[in-house]
Amino acid sequence: MAVLNSEVIRFTLLLSLCMACLCHKENLQERLFLSSLGLTSRPKPAAQFPVPSLLWKIFKGTKMPEFSAQDNDPCTVSEFGVRGNIVRFVQDQGRILSVSSDLCPGCVEKLLFFNVSALETAEQLTFAQLEIRLQQDFHPLSPRAREQEVYSMSLWKVLKATLKGISPEMTRKLLLSQSIRLTPGSIALSLTDVVKAWRKPGRNYGLVLALRPDATAAAATRLAQNVVSPHHVGAAFPEFHASLPDFRASLVVVSLNPLQCRSRRRRSALYLPVTPSNVCKPRRLYIDFKDVGWQDWIIAPQGYMANYCHGECPFPLSESLNGTNHAILQTLVHSLDSVGTPQPCCVPIKLSPISMLYYDNNDNVVLRHYEDMIVDECGCR
Ligand SMILES: *[C@@H]1O[C@H](CO)[C@@H](O)[C@H](O)[C@H]1NC(C)=O
Ligand SMILES: *[C@@H]1O[C@H](CO)[C@@H](O)[C@H](O)[C@H]1NC(C)=O
């Protein structure tokens, strides 16, 4: 009879004990979770940058699976029409290079630097877009006069470190040059190839953005103003140079981590029936990120229905308990020797993803499609 081999079977079974239930090393667990999000430690966002409305839109879109096609690829960012499961909003860490000198009144030159080292090696970058947002600021000129100011905007990619005395033009490559008006709004520029190159070590020297008043357009503006109100002659000239454009740059980067993207359909939130039973099945569990002290870096959701598996795996193991052949044998041995061999464990066998919006270790806002966060089905293993 099989009992003869029970010692052998027991030995094998003990190796596959319910390990999940035994692990209470919170720090280790937290570290593992954080590292799977690409984080070295729990982020402590210094300044809570506002979440760009576009990210909110994508986040809200991912939360409505019943409105998207059932077999929708969860690893597509439809807003940009590219594959990806991570959207990062990278903050500019550059510095002002020069402002409004005698040579160039009203001019601003700024280094834009985006640290893209948070992208892991496994991630495939599929999309990058620079956004330059012109801000409304406090300004002596009336908004109308301001809107008439025409600036010429130039954007260069810095190719290598520049030493003093070497003409910076030698080490820059012009990416864009256009005329803009200082009205609040934004300018977007695709930078996918540039950012791909930045990922190689020692290749990211940033961008240089220069804004300078467009002399010919300025003259035309002054002429127009003079025609409208002759008694303001001359007044517009010094004021024009008193204004400095105020802008903020950010970089949206979409990447795909294929290891965290098993293409399968998402399920809508599972509403579990509350039937009293002690047989293995999913149980309701709402995880509130406040309870684990993560509310300061996880922006959304504030919590979610994670569920958990709990219950007995009794002999004989019925089909609905989704047992493996191994589990069926284990319950059999358990029924013969309940002290020496435990019941199989009730564990998650099907999980579904959620999307999370959080600050990373560099204060960037990240939207990430994250696998295996919700228990859908349990089984005896
Ligand atoms: C970029 O960020 C990483 C951490 O993600 C940091 O180690 C590194 O020093 C940063 N690089 C620069 C140039 O700021
Ligand atoms: C076993 O799987 C089926 C579908 O494959 C599911 O309906 C059932 O709820 C699962 N059993 C448990 C205990 O989760």
Which pLDDT belongs to residue 11? 34
Mean pLDDT of 281-286: 92
Which pLDDT belongs to residue 209? 94
Among 277, 309, 318, 322, name the best residue to mutate to test ligand 2's pocket (greatest count of ligand atoms within 8 A of Cβ). Answer: 322
Which pLDDT belongs to residue 114? 96
For ligand 1, is residue 362 a contact (CB within 6 Å)? yes
Mean pLDDT of 237-266: 72
For ligand 2, is residue 381 a contact (CB within 6 Å)? no
For ligand 1, is residue 116 a contact (CB within 6 Å)? no
Check residues 103 and 74 and name the one with the higher pLDDT: 103
**Ligand 2, atom nearest to 377 Cα:** 14
Q: At what angle do helices 325-336 and 6-15 cross, to 10 degrees?
A: 120
For ligand 1, is residue 115 a contact (CB within 6 Å)? yes
Of all ligands present, the nearest one to the C-alpha of 351 is 2
Judge whether residue 21 has pLDDT over 60: no
pLDDT digits (tens, 9 = 90+) for 27-81: 888 888 888 888 888 998 887 778 888 888 888 876 554 434 444 567 888 889 9
Check residues 354 and 165 and name the one with the higher pLDDT: 354
Q: Which of 128, 113, 109, 296 minimizes the C-alpha distance to 209?
A: 109
Average pLDDT, the chain: 79
Dist CA 304 CA 356 (whole Å): 10
Among 44, 362, 364, name the best residue to mutate to test ligand 1's pocket (greatest count of ligand atoms within 8 A of Cβ). Answer: 362
CA trace torsion 15, 20, 25, 27 (10° rounding): 130
Judge whether residue 254 has pLDDT over 90: yes
Which pLDDT belongs to residue 183? 78
> Which residue is listed with tokens 């308990």?
321
